[in-house]
């Protein structure tokens, strides 16, 4: 249930800069972004960037941000509860979440819970539509979400404090500081969210008595030039959460879930003329404790630690031709009450090519070969191209083969795990048209995705749930994205909207997959004058089926619904100095 929230933002900072010169900072500009391939090897890919101004006008969870600002549909069990996406009609485990260039989907269930990602400490978030397994690995079938911490190498000192209060004793407090010089930089952010979440069930006097949740997020990002050709960067993100799982009117709940995610990455980048290299060493930790009864000490435990090493080498032959190779190795070790101690090793080699024959055409050819524990050797590819046909009109097209390997839960969960599973395989094509004007932009996209050997948990003849590879699934549809902005003196007006029509059906039954709406849309309006911002957001989700037979009724489908948010931001104590 949504309520109106009013946010108060406090900002204070001092900034200074000089006219750009050819110095060490400029020479290393290409490696300031931790995921440069998202920018340089995506000529025919639809990418939508959500900037800091958009992030500040939304609640802190990644679910709320994307539900009101993208074409992605979310199946959410209430505020703070489990949230899983459906990107272009695909499943939650077919959407990859990328943290500064690294895929962070869980090794246990192949997903990321979007309610565990706090958006306050990211400089921007990119939405990459369509298959991306060549660049980002397993699970990038429907699309990928990119969480970016762009380091700022300039003389600056800034601090932002954000606090909010809403219904059901919902509270949030966030502090983010960024400071540094042209030689080093640091960014530190801490966010805390807490809510009793004791709302009334619609049409009744009953109250949700088990919806309380709270979580703590911390981000630390550091960068330093160790020479005029080398830069070291350290990224760290911590999440610690505890939440009770809400029940229903007919199924009360006493369960509780505790989880933690720690992510650390040390990155060394070096550039010499046309050549650049990047070495990343990453540690990912995930852990959960599930309590069937929150008042008792009994719980089930699961955890995974992953060590990942990634090296990329890029050569720019000239302004029109560049080539990148990527070598990556990961070792994941699990431990849990329901899957013992599984181990997975994955090695991959990737080649990316981007060529611009002239100022109107840019295309890419990309290949990837994986080698995984168990003998699976997925080979995937992608081709894409962008055509600037007229001054304000562009066509983008891409095709790809993508994959998803079985997770630890799929293979080893007891009882029910299936060691005979094979990786999912997907082919897709995407065609986009972009109309770009100074104050008005429209994107129209159509796509088709065919997935074979989809992994799905189903009850067997004994009633035991177990994952199997099922037949083919086809997802196809159309998307519209509209953005407009106007400035009249110091008055700024922004309008954005999205609409998607999605069909995702089992080709054996010709039935729509459950929890995939045919229609979804949203609209966002914002007005800014000096330190004041006022905004309104509206979202519509269409009907969804909850059973595979696609019957309409109280127990087999859910009606569509509308949700609206209003908010006001006020920024004060801001100073800026420019030389």
Q: pLDDT at residue 11 above 60?
A: no
Can you give the pLDDT at residue 573?
63
Do the Cβ atoms of 214 and 241 come closer than 8 Å? yes
Question: Highest-confidence range of 23-32, 154-163, 268-277, 436-445, by mean pLDDT?
Answer: 436-445
Contact 407, 346 (CB under 8 A): no
pLDDT of residue 488: 92
Q: CA 306, CA 263: separation in Å to the nearest integer?
A: 10
Whole-number pLDDT of residue 427: 97
Comparing CA positions, the residue from 207, 278, 214, 216 lying closest to residue 249 is 207
Under DSSP, the state recorded for 245 is: P
Looking at the chain, the whole-number percentage of residues with pLDDT higher than 90 is 69
Q: How does residue 574 score in pLDDT terms, banded at 50, 70 and 90? A: low
List pLDDT tens digits, range 323-344: 999 999 999 999 999 888 999 9
Return d(Cα 346, Cα 277) in angstroms, integer: 21
Q: What is the mean pLDDT of residues 357-372?
A: 95
pLDDT digits (tens, 9 = 90+) for 187-208: 999 999 999 999 888 888 888 8
Q: Provide the residue ranges of all domains of the chain, joining segments of one domain with +.
A: 6-570
Of the candidate ranges 46-50, 280-284, 422-426, 454-458, the one whose mean pLDDT is the lowest: 454-458
pLDDT tens digits, 395-424: 999 999 999 999 999 999 998 899 999 999
Within 111-198, strands assigned E span 124-129, 143-148, 156-166, 170-180, 184-195
> In 3D, which of 368, 365, 369 has the Cα closest to residue 377?
369
**pTM for this prediction:** 0.92
Superfamily name with CATH number, domain 6-570: TonB-dependent receptor, beta-barrel domain (2.40.170.20)
Q: Note the pLDDT tens digit of each residue in 75-134.
A: 988 888 899 999 999 999 999 999 999 999 999 999 999 999 999 889 899 999 999 999
Residue 172 predicted with pLDDT over 80? yes
Q: Strands (DSSP E) along 405-546, which ranges?
A: 424-437, 440-452, 455-459, 465-469, 473-488, 491-506, 511-512, 519-529, 532-541, 544-545
Question: What does the pLDDT read at residue 12?
Answer: 42
Q: What is the pLDDT of residue 32?
A: 63
Residue 4 scores a pLDDT above 90: no
Does residue 22 surpass a pLDDT of 90? no
Distance CA 176, CA 156 (A): 14
569 CB contacts (<8 Å, ≥6 apart)?
Answer: 7, 8, 9, 56, 57, 532, 533, 535
């Amino acid at each position: 249930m949504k309520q109106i929230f009013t946010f108060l933002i406090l900002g204070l900072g001092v900034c200074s800069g000089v006219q750009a010169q050819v110095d060490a900072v400029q020479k290393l500009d290409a490696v300031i972004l931790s995921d440069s391939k998202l920018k340089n090897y995506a000529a025919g890919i639809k990418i939508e960037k959500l900037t800091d101004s958009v992030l500040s006008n939304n609640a802190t969870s990644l679910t709320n941000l994307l539900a009101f600002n993208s074409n992605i549909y979310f199946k959410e069990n209430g505020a703070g509860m489990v949230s899983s996406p459906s990107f272009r009609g695909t499943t939650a485990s077919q959407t990859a979440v990328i943290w500064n260039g690294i895929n962070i989907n869980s090794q246990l269930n192949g997903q990321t819970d979007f309610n565990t990602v706090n958006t306050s400490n990211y400089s921007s978030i990119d939405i990459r539509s369509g298959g991306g397994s060549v660049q980002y690995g397993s699970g990038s079938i429907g699309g990928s979400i990119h969480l970016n911490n762009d380091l700022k190498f300039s003389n600056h000192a800034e601090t932002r404090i954000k606090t909010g209060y809403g219904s059901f004793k919902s509270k949030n407090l966030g502090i983010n500081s960024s400071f540094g010089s042209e030689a080093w930089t640091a960014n530190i952010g801490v966010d805390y969210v807490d809510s009793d979440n004791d709302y009334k069930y619609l049409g009744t006097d009953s109250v949700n008595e088990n919806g309380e949740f709270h979580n703590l997020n911390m981000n630390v990002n550091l960068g330093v030039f160790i020479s005029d050709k080398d830069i070291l960067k350290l990224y760290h993100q911590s999440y610690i959460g505890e939440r009770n799982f809400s029940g229903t009117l007919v199924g009360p709940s006493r369960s509780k879930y505790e989880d933690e995610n720690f992510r650390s990455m040390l990155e060394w980048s070096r550039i010499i003329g046309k050549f650049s290299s990047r070495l990343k060493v990453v540690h990912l930790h995930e852990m959960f404790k599930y309590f069937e009864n929150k008042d008792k000490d009994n719980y089930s435990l699961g955890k995974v630690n992953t060590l990942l090493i990634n090296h990329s080498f890029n050569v720019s032959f000239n302004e029109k031709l560049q080539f990148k190779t990527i070598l990556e190795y990961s070792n994941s070790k699990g431990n849990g009450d329901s899957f013992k101690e599984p181990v997975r090793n994955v090695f991959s080699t990737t080649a990316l090519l981007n060529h611009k024959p002239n100022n109107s055409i840019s295309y890419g050819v990309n290949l990837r070969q994986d080698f995984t524990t168990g003998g699976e050797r997925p080979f995937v590819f992608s081709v894409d191209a962008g055509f600037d046909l007229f001054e304000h009109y562009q066509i983008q097209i891409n095709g790809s083969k993508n994959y998803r390997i079985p997770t630890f839960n799929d293979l080893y969960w007891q009882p029910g795990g299936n060691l005979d599973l094979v990786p999912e395989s997907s082919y897709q094509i995407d065609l986009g048209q972009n109309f770009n004007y100074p104050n008005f932009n429209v994107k129209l996209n159509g796509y088709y995705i065919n997935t074979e050997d989809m992994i799905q948990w189903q009850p067997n003849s004994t009633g035991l749930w177990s994952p199997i590879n099922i037949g083919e699934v086809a997802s196809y549809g159309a998307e519209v994205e509209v953005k407009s902005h106007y400035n009249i003196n110091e008055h700024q007006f922004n309008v954005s909207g999205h609409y998607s029509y999605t069909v995702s059906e089992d080709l054996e039954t010709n039935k729509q997959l459950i929890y995939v709406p045919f229609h979804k849309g949203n609209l966002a309006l914002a007005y800014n004058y000096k330190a004041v911002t006022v905004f309104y957001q509206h979202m519509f989700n269409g009907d969804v089926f909850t059973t595979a037979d696609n019957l309409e009724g109280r127990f087999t489908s859910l009606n569509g619904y509308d949700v609206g948010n209003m908010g006001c931001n006020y920024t004060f104590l801001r100073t800026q100095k420019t030389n």
